[in-house]
Amino acid sequence: MSAVSVQSHFPLQALNTFGMDVFADAYAAIHSPADLMTLRADPTWAAQPVLVLGAGSNLLLTGNVGGLVLHMRTTGKEVVGEDHSSIYVRAAAGEDWHTFVLWTLEAGYAGLENLSLIPGTVGAAPVQNIGAYGVELQERFHALRALDWTTGEIKTFDHSSCRFSYRDSFFRRARGRFIIMDVVFALPKRWQNNLSYPDVEQAWRAQGAPPLTPLLVSRIIADIRRRKLPDPAVAGNAGSFFKNPSVSRARFEALRADYPDMPGYIQADGYYRLAAGWLIEQCGWKGKTVGDVGVWETQALVLVNRGKACGQDIARVSLMIQEAVNEKFGVWLEPEPVFV
Ligand SMILES: Cc1cc2nc3c(=O)[nH]c(=O)nc-3n(C[C@H](O)[C@H](O)[C@H](O)COP(=O)(O)OP(=O)(O)OC[C@H]3O[C@@H](n4cnc5c(N)ncnc54)[C@H](O)[C@@H]3O)c2cc1C
């Protein structure tokens, strides 16, 4: 029998990396699938809208949260199978992402090393199809199980039903309906390193180009991330605040004619991905502070809480940046964190 309890007026400040000082009307820590099913079986809670909370590292909480906050604290990770090409590994939604990545690497399974040190939980990783240093989660994803809060059914989603795209999936669009319970990854038996990002290759060469292993790539990437990104414990943030926008080839060529240094990367669909950080920097926002909201000095994509900023303050500065970039380049930036 599950002993899950629901607490009212629960403080969320320590549970979101922006450090927003807000409360949940109702909060439950979920330690097992049985905890979830117990709450879903109670008509009072089943009728409530839910916010699923992982580590709160991709959320902008703009006020107190109504309905029921389900905080995923489930743990467990295991190898569940293999075939000629892959090892299949399953992890519970509440597992810390980086701890899970290290566990796979230390067990000798490669494939997740470029996604090292991304904050958050395993269950949130498919929601925005996390990506870093040339690899996206969808390249290592096999399947997941999720509870449909509207029907109480547990469903299995394969790769195609997740509808992954750049920092997006079906779950991001169906927010509050599905609670991801566990995720199965397919890790390739034959390892191919990915040093496609110049920073990574340079850091490896600077170490004297030692023999490459997945653990070494993980360490190099973790070091770069520690240097480049603010630690949320020191300056509240949610990582990149804006997605890199995509424009047509004609639009990119027109922009390049005006701004010859503008970076742009061609995608499989023929569109060009622009660097949002570069666009923001060109508008003079890098290192700027408005009230208690700052744009990080070494990475213009990151907005930080320099003290007592509230979610509305961050949303206001985000809008000012969107307007500045739109005015100069005619490109509208889309935020990456989920606004609640
Ligand atoms: C310093 C820093 C660096 C970052 N770098 C990167 C990066 O390189 N690449 C990248 O892609 N992201 C990055 N992020 C963003 C963040 O780490 C990821 O989006 C991460 O996957 C969020 O996990 P979380 O557990 O904190 O999710 P939360 O912030 O708690 O939730 C995010 C969204 O997912 C939903 N959700 C969470 N868990 C579940 C679940 N079990 N079932 C259903 N829905 C769920 C929530 O309801 C919410 O809509 C960074 C963030 C920070 C603070």
In this predicted model, what pLDDT tens digit does every residue of 171-184 receive, in sequence order?
998 888 999 999 99
Cα 123 to middle of ligand 1, angstroms: 9
Same-domain status, 257 and 290: yes
Same-domain status, 240 and 177: no
Q: How far is CA 98 from the centre of its chain?
A: 12
Same-domain status, 165 and 68: no
In this predicted model, what pLDDT tens digit does every residue of 126-144 receive, in sequence order?
999 999 999 999 999 999 9
Same-domain status, 162 and 262: no
Same-domain status, 12 and 59: yes
**Does 32 map to a domain?**
yes
pLDDT, position 225 = 95
Same-domain status, 248 and 280: yes
Q: Which of 57, 86, 116, 240 is catalytic?
A: 240
| Alpha helices by DSSP H, the chain | 33-41, 43-46, 97-106, 159-162, 170-173, 198-206, 214-228, 249-258, 276-282, 311-329
Cα 17 to middle of ligand 1, angstroms: 10
Question: Annotated catalytic, 240?
Answer: yes
Mutate to test the pocket of ligand 1, among 32, 112, 127 (most ligand atoms within 8 A of CB): 127
**Does 205 map to a domain?**
no
Same-domain status, 184 and 273: no
Dihedral angle computed from the Cα positions of residues 232, 113, 143 and 160, in that order, rounded to the nearest 10 degrees: 90
Question: Annotated catalytic, 95?
Answer: no
Mean pLDDT along residues 215-223: 97
Cα 338 to middle of ligand 1, angstroms: 9
Percent of the chain with pLDDT over 90: 95
Question: What's the alpha-carbon Rg for the chain, to the nearest Å?
Answer: 21
Residue 2 has pLDDT above 80, yes or no: no
- The angle that helices 97-106 and 214-228 make with each other, rounded to 10 degrees, is 150
How many domains does one find in the chain?
3
Task: Please report where in the chains the tokens 């709160």 appear, as a residue.
Answer: 56
Token code pair at residue 217 = 């790539």
In this predicted model, what pLDDT tens digit does every residue of 43-73 receive, in sequence order?
999 999 999 999 999 999 999 999 999 999 9
**Does 202 map to a domain?**
no
**CATH number where 313 lies:** 3.90.78.10
Mutate to test the pocket of ligand 1, among 18, 36, 51, 57 (most ligand atoms within 8 A of CB): 57
Q: In this structure, which residue's CA is closest to atom 4 in ligand 1?
A: 239
Q: Which of 167, 169, 218, 225 is catalytic?
A: 167
| Alpha helices by DSSP H, 18-96 | 33-41, 43-46
> Which strands sit side by side in the sheet containing 272-274, from one edge to the other?
246-247, 272-274, 264-266
pLDDT, position 189 = 96
Question: Annotated catalytic, 167?
Answer: yes
pLDDT, position 252 = 96
The closest alpha carbon to 214, from 143, 127, 133, belongs to 133
Mutate to test the pocket of ligand 1, among 118, 182, 244 (most ligand atoms within 8 A of CB): 118
The type of residue at 174 is: A
**CATH number where 60 lies:** 3.30.43.10
Counting from 1 in the atom list of ligand 1, the atom nearest the Cα of 119 is 17
Contact 114, 139 (CB under 8 A): no
What domain range includes position 296? 236-332
Number of residues that this document lists for the chain: 340
DSSP letters for 88-143 = EEEEETTSBHHHHHHHHHHTT--S-GGGTT--SBTTTTTTTT-EETTEEGGGTEEE
Last residue of a domain, one of 44, 72, 100: 72
Distance CA 301, CA 58 (A): 14
Distance CA 317, CA 234 (A): 20
Number of CB atoms found within 10 A of residue 34's CB: 13
Ligand 1: residues with CB < 6 A are: 17, 51-59, 72, 93, 118-121, 123-125, 127-128, 130-132, 171, 175, 178-180, 229, 232, 237-239, 338
**Does 217 map to a domain?**
no
Same-domain status, 40 and 103: no
Token code pair at residue 22 = 């807000």
Same-domain status, 133 and 178: yes
Instruction: Name the DSSP letter for residue 70.
Output: E
Last residue of a domain, one of 72, 105, 127: 72
Contact 93, 72 (CB under 8 A): yes
Residue 1 has pLDDT above 60, yes or no: no
Same-domain status, 81 and 181: yes
**Does 285 map to a domain?**
yes
Distance CA 157, CA 143 (A): 6
Mean pLDDT along residues 185-199: 94
pLDDT, position 192 = 93
Counting from 1 in the atom list of ligand 1, the atom nearest the Cα of 17 is 53
Counting from 1 in the atom list of ligand 1, the atom nearest the Cα of 130 is 11
**CATH number where 183 lies:** 3.30.465.10
In this predicted model, what pLDDT tens digit does every residue of 30-45 receive, in sequence order?
999 999 999 999 999 9
| Phi and psi torsions of 218, nearest 5° | -60, -45
Q: How far is CA 203 from the centre of its chain?
A: 24
